[in-house]
Structure formats: structure tokens, C-alpha cells
Amino acid sequence: MSRNTVRVEAFSDAVIAVALTLMAVELLQFTPDGTADTDLVARLKEEWRAFLAYVITFAIVGQIWLAHHNSWRYVVRIDQMMLVLNLVMLMFVAAIPFTANQLSDHLRGSDADQRLSAAIYVGAVLGEALFFNLGWWWARWRGLLSPDLDPRLAASVSRRYLIRPLLYLIAFAIVFINPILSLLAYLLLVAIYLIRGPGDLPPAGRAEDECG
């Protein structure tokens, strides 16, 4: 028998919350060799890469939570495969703090280190995006979505979600030009998805459009 989605959503929220917390612990700290009498402004300047990685990665994980919250409003039943796909997606989310920390540490390293850390970083966010899409497509194919969901809206949501992994690949390609620009590209892509689109919550007091 299929089950409702309450436990899955609660578990997913918990994993994402822990990932955000670990990210703050990993990135918002000074290097171990810092001393208490060191000028604070100088130390902050030294760690600007970590702070930038924190802001951008927090935005990425926050956008993942928003998308998960919005899409699962339409999921009314779950099966075993849906659980597995969501769990694998969360595995990549949980790895994002580690990859962000590696990226911030190696932004000042050699070109090879920068590209390798950027590849590990995009591997985590791209893996999340791919399995997020697989979960949504599986729910559509297996009839796990609300029967009241307009098929046109479901198709619009699918197209919108499919663009995200492609945009991540574009941001990764920019690392071969400039790693800082690559990070800023991720932030720009998150900003694009913060604009209300198909499947997102409508403004308070307004009914959702039939086809987004």
C-alpha cells in the first residue's frame, strides 16, 4: 500500500536543516592558525572566500528546500521508488557542505585544485538536481500526484525543473574562465529561480493559476 507524504517531508526538512547548520560550522570559522590578538578586519579579509561560498551555497540549499516544499504540495502518495529517489537526492544535499568547504579552501590554490574542487562541488549540486527531477518525473508517471493537478501545470513545472541541472553545468563551465565568476553564476541562477514560476506558491489571498 502507498502512504501519504508527511513523514517523507518531515525527514527531508530535517536533512536540509542539518545541511544548512553544518555549512555554517564548516565555512563560518577562522583558520586554526589564527591568534586572538590578530587584527579582526585582516582576518575577515583573509576568509572572504569562505564567506562568499557560505552565502552562495546557503542560497542554493535554500532554493532546494523551496523547490522541494513547492513540488511536494502536489504529491499525495508515495511508493518505494519515490522514497529511494528522494533519499538519494538528500544524500547529495548532505554532501554540499563538505564540497563547499573544499571549494572555498582551494579557490586560492593552483588551477588544477580550483577545477577539481569546482568539479566536486558541481557534482553534489548537479546530483541533487538530477535526482530531484527523477523524483518528480516518477511521481508524474506513477500517478502519485494530486488528481486535481492540471496536466498543463505539471508539464510547465517539469520543464522548469529540468532547466536547473543545465544551468549548473553552465556555471561549472565558467570555472575555467574564473572560479569566482563561477560562484557568482550559481548565485545568479538561484536568483532566477526565486522569481515565482510554475508550481510555486501563489501570493497570499490569490488562487493558483491553472497552468502556472
Model confidence pLDDT, tens digit, residues 102-126: 887 777 777 788 788 888 888 899 9
* pLDDT for position 53: 81
Calculate the alpha carbon distances from 1 to 77, 79, 92 in Å.
Answer: 10, 8, 28
37-68 in b/e form (b: 16+ CB < 10 A) is eeeeeeeeeebebbebbbebbbbbbebbbebb
Helix or strand holding residue 164 (H, E):
helix 151-173
* pLDDT for position 164: 86
Lowest model confidence (mean pLDDT) among 32-41, 136-145, 165-174: 32-41
Helix or strand holding residue 113 (H, E):
helix 111-141
Beta bridge partners of 39: none
* pLDDT > 90 fraction of the chain, expressed in percent and rounded: 32
Helix or strand holding residue 63 (H, E):
helix 48-71
pTM across the whole model: 0.82
59-150-16 Cα angle (round to 5): 25
* pLDDT > 70 fraction of the chain, expressed in percent and rounded: 85
Model confidence pLDDT, tens digit, residues 61-74: 998 999 999 999 99
Distance CA 57, CA 25 (A): 13
Confidence of residue 44 (pLDDT cuts 50, 70, 90): low
Confidence of residue 128 (pLDDT cuts 50, 70, 90): very high
For 78, list phi and psi in degrees, rounded to 5. Answer: -135, 155
